[in-house]
Amino acid sequence: MRLLYSDILIPLDQAPIQMGMLVVSESGKIEEIVSPNSENYSLENAQYYAGALIPGFVNAHCHLELSHLKNKVSRHTQLDGFVEELMSVRSASQEEISSSMKAAEEELFTKGCVAVGDISNGSASFQIKQGSKIQFHTFIERFGLSADVASRSFESGISLLNSLQELNLNGSLSPHAPYSVSDKLIDMIIEHCLDNHSIMTIHHQESHSENDLFQSGQGPMLERFQRMGISASGFNAKGKSSASWLADRIHTNQKIMLVHNTFSNREDVQAIHVKTKNAYFCLCPKANLYISNALPNLNMLLEEECELIIGTDSLASNDSLDMLDELRTIQNAFPSISSPDLFRWACLNGAKAMGMENNLGSFSIGKTPGIVNISNFNAKEMLILPESEARIV
């Protein structure tokens, strides 16, 4: 047994407990939570952690495959500039790609991630995932604007998914973004996710230009397609936002994870909610600042009662894979949000989104959620400080 206590214990399935103690089995299972006014409370053999103890983070959106692109793409170029630059620097030796992914996986774990939703276009990350302490859910991502390539893109996704599952790793198919798939391809993926009871993720309203393209069929995104030689001839202006288009396509109460939502408005969120109550809105604030120097309208998302989850996105658009840094960024921009709420999004909601809530996301008896110490945490005012750090313990 391990006994751990800290200035504030934040179990997430009950109110925070000052000087609360965790009783944990050797395998990491939560056996008991003891408050200082209980007669079972004894500091003998207990280890003290200054700051807070919280459950392990569930990072809902990452791209291990892009780990070698740290500091290689300029900031604030907006999404279309970012993608163009990314494509020009993406290639690297297998060795460089592998060692960067391994370093990223280690950073994720030491900074407290016990589970990660990771986007993969190929199989390069599978071996690292197989040997990892992190539970990965791999989203096999598919592209293709032309309906002619839909079947081929879908079938190659299925074959990647099969090789993932042969390694006993979890995953599902996902479309890259509303602007990069045909109706035919996204419909095939939607059906596959429904048939397999799996969650689908999609990059969503990360740029103004996505909205322009859907509304009018014009704008910077179309110009980028032309510069990059991507045929957008099959893309007709929809006269509606990509959120409305997506809501039309998904099934009632389909489980879906919408990533970014930087330029989503109230009508967009309502359109999704009318169709499904099983939607999770993933925030990757540091990537949004890196690419667009903008943040989602968090007050609106809260007013619309969105289920919020948190991701780091990739090292191509972030200087770290540190979930606490994402939460600090949100707290700085929206000081009225309490840190237990932020931790709930980053732990419990992420676990729910990825179907891992039976074992992860809170210090509930019987779970094995991982334990993270937030040092230099202001336990009195429940504030993440500039010097706060997260570490798995």
β-pair partners for 54: 372
Compare residues 314 and 349 and give the one whose CB is closer to Zn ion.
314
Compare residues 70 and 367 and give the one whose CB is closer to Zn ion.
70
Compare residues 52 and 199 and give the one whose CB is closer to Zn ion.
199
Q: How far is the CB of 267 from Zn ion (least distance, A)?
A: 24
Compare residues 7 and 313 and give the one whose CB is closer to Zn ion.
313
Q: How far is the CB of 287 from Zn ion (least distance, A)?
A: 7
Cα–Cα dist 59/349, whole Å: 10
Q: Which residue is nearest to Zn ion (CB)?
A: 313
Compare residues 6 and 262 and give the one whose CB is closer to Zn ion.
262
Contact assessment for residue 169 and residue 131, using Cβ atoms and an 8 Å cutoff: no
Compare residues 63 and 208 and give the one whose CB is closer to Zn ion.
63
Contact assessment for residue 379 and residue 18, using Cβ atoms and an 8 Å cutoff: yes
Compare residues 4 and 189 and give the one whose CB is closer to Zn ion.
189
- Please identify which residue in the block is written with the tokens 């909601």: 349
Q: Which amino acid is at 369?
A: P
Q: How far is the CB of 97 from Zn ion (least distance, A)?
A: 17
Q: What is the DSSP letter of 65?
A: G
Q: How far is the CB of 61 from Zn ion (least distance, A)?
A: 6
Q: How far is the CB of 66 from Zn ion (least distance, A)?
A: 8
Q: How far is the CB of 314 from Zn ion (least distance, A)?
A: 6
Q: How far is the CB of 307 from Zn ion (least distance, A)?
A: 19
Q: Which parts of this chain interact with Zn ion (CB under 5 A)?
A: 313
DSSP string over 169-234: -EEEEEES-GGGB-HHHHHHHHHHHHHTT--EEEEES-SHHHHHHHHHS-SHHHHHHHHHT---TT
Cα–Cα dist 57/133, whole Å: 13
User: For residue 46, what are the CA distances in angstroms to 4, 11, 21, 53, 339?
Assistant: 5, 18, 8, 14, 26
β-pair partners for 8: 18, 52
